[in-house]
Amino acid sequence: TTMDYSTNDSKSTSKKKVVAVVGGGLVGNLNACYFAKRGFQVEVFESREDIRQAKIVKGRSINLVLSHRGRQALKHVGMEDTIISKGIPMHSRMIHALNGTQSPIPYGKKGQYILSIDRANLNKELLSAAETYPNINLNFAHKLLNWSTETGAMTFEKTEDIQADLIVGCDGAFSAIRKQFLRQSRFNYSQTYIPHGYLEITMPPINGEFAMKPDYLHIWPRNTFMMIALPNLDKTFNCTLFMPFEEFEKVTTGDKVIEFFQKYFPDAIPLIGAEALKRDFFRLPAQAMVSVKCSSYHFGDKCVLMGDAAHAMVPFYGQGMNAGFEDCLVLNEIMDQLNEDFSAVLPEYTRVRVPDGQAIADLAMYNYVEMREHVNSKWFLFRKYVDNFLHIIMPRTIIPLYTMVTFTRTRYHKVVKHWHWQDKVINQGLLFCAAVSVAGGSYLLVRYPPSMPNIPIEQLWSRLQALKSPF
């Protein structure tokens, strides 16, 4: 039996088409709000139970970072202020050196900041927001088994087949919707696991207050690995250790955990607590991180991929959620332009969004190296100052990479192009200035040689002869 939610246009031209959103996570629920706001009947299908009622919430829990792109997407459905009120502003990175000294690196200009957001709380807020629309139905415990590219019919576990006018795949990096795309010709797909895993550790409050300054993203960069800490509203920090799996495998006992932290993160031990550190380190095994690229993002006028289903990325630029939220905004803008004609909207969405999804996936990989290694470099810090200075005097020409990604909606692939161009220009400018300085100094030495004492050559020779060799 097939439950047909779709519109029979031959019988009714006034009834809106039905959109099936597969995946009731962050991007899925925001997408549902976008479609509902346009008047579509929206059916959201989530494989898990309602997390607002679940005792144990399965899934990743790395803290999220909300920045400009995500805020603009939330603003469109009136949720920006609500979500901001549940986040903690972070104005700078705080770098923890091995000797315990701390030094901040601002993210942007004064007043610019990113927000630390709890993933589970944000998902609950989005679910509750979706529930306020009368034309959205939330269907929990609906695990998708398959769907037909010919008819669009979706087969779920323990329920009848369901059909809709448009399927929106928001079901994550291991998308069940995307499996059918893999069977089509000319569909490109790549999946890359990095050799590093992550493990989460909680830093509790001390005397009811944050153990560290809360308005920073704290980073312990150790070249081949790192630990970060983001603040939570309950005064805890969510610490995440990113490290090669082979290094995790060497730490097998509680004593080795303490030994490892004493060697690389000694200032964190009294803040976390030795016993809590031993407990959290072995609570779960280190988790893997995957990067996914594919194209196209649509199939005919029946289906479109969004969020991690289209472009899963490693978490080091804090753009996974922001890029997924921006997907919703971009699709909505294209629907405005093309009058909700899915046969035109979906190909245009693929054309616009694929290069951006692939560009931010590459940038996320790059930023891991920057966070764990480059921030220790004096050249990196010098270039930060140069870039920020040039940005002040030429704000439209020279824009730091992080600023373009985090505090603007410049398309990701254009960000990469501009970054490469300005990096080349600045490096050539610095090389030119160095060459001019050397040439100028050499000219001055030749033109105005330093005066030498007027000592006869015989006297100089006798003085040299009088010096005893240290050998």
Low pLDDT (below 70) residues in the chain: 1-15, 56-62, 373, 451-455, 457, 460-461, 463-471
CB atoms within 10 A of CB 139: 16
Q: Is omega for the bond preceding 103 within 30 degrees of 0, making it cis?
A: no
DSSP state for residue 349 in the 8-state scheme: H
Nearest CA-CA partner of 169 in 357, 333, 299: 299
**Which contacts qualify for 5-8: CB closer than 8 Å, 24 or more apart?**
5/41, 5/43, 5/162, 5/163, 5/164, 5/165, 6/152, 6/163, 6/164, 6/165, 7/165
pLDDT (0 to 100) of residue 365? 87
The set of residues, in sequence order, having a beta carbon less than 8 Å from that of 110 and lying 6+ positions away, is: none
Q: How far apart are CA 129 and CA 45, in angstroms?
A: 16
By the 8 A CB rule, do 304 and 166 touch? yes
pLDDT (0 to 100) of residue 223? 86
> What is the widest separation between alpha-carbon atoms in the chain?
116
Q: How far apart are CA 261 and CA 267, in angstroms?
A: 9
pLDDT (0 to 100) of residue 381? 75
DSSP state for residue 319 in the 8-state scheme: -
pLDDT (0 to 100) of residue 9? 42
Helices (H) and strands (E) in the chain, counts: 16, 20
Q: Please, which residues bridge with residue 228 across strands?
A: 219, 240
**What are the DSSP calls for 216-266, one per residue?**
EEEEEE-SS-EEEEEE-TTS-EEEEEEEEHHHHTT--SHHHHHHHHHHH-G
Q: How far apart are CA 350 and CA 343, in angstroms?
A: 12
Q: Please, which residues bridge with residue 147 across strands?
A: 154
The set of residues, in sequence order, having a beta carbon less than 8 Å from that of 353 and lying 6+ positions away, is: 297, 310, 327, 330
By the 8 A CB rule, do 152 and 56 touch? no
pLDDT (0 to 100) of residue 467? 62
Q: How far apart are CA 433 and CA 438, in angstroms?
A: 9
pLDDT (0 to 100) of residue 382? 81
Question: Residue 140: phi, psi to the nearest 5?
Answer: -90, 165
22-32 pLDDT per residue, tens: 999 999 999 99
3-state helix/strand/coil string of 382-404:
HHHHHHHHHHHHCCCCCCCHHHH
Nearest CA-CA partner of 130 in 52, 191, 68, 199: 52
Token digits of residue 283: 């609570």
Q: How far apart are CA 172 and CA 53, in angstroms?
A: 22
Prediction pTM value: 0.87
Query: Which helix or strand (DSSP H or E) is residue 309 part of?
Result: helix 308-311
CB atoms within 10 A of CB 342: 20
69-112 pLDDT per residue, tens: 999 999 999 999 999 999 999 999 999 999 989 999 888 888 89
pLDDT (0 to 100) of residue 353? 97
pLDDT (0 to 100) of residue 8? 44
Query: Which helix or strand (DSSP H or E) is residue 293 part of?
Result: strand 287-295
Residue with token string 């986040």: 87
DSSP state for residue 205 in the 8-state scheme: -
By the 8 A CB rule, do 350 and 295 touch? yes
Query: Which helix or strand (DSSP H or E) is residue 370 part of?
Result: helix 342-372
pLDDT (0 to 100) of residue 449? 75
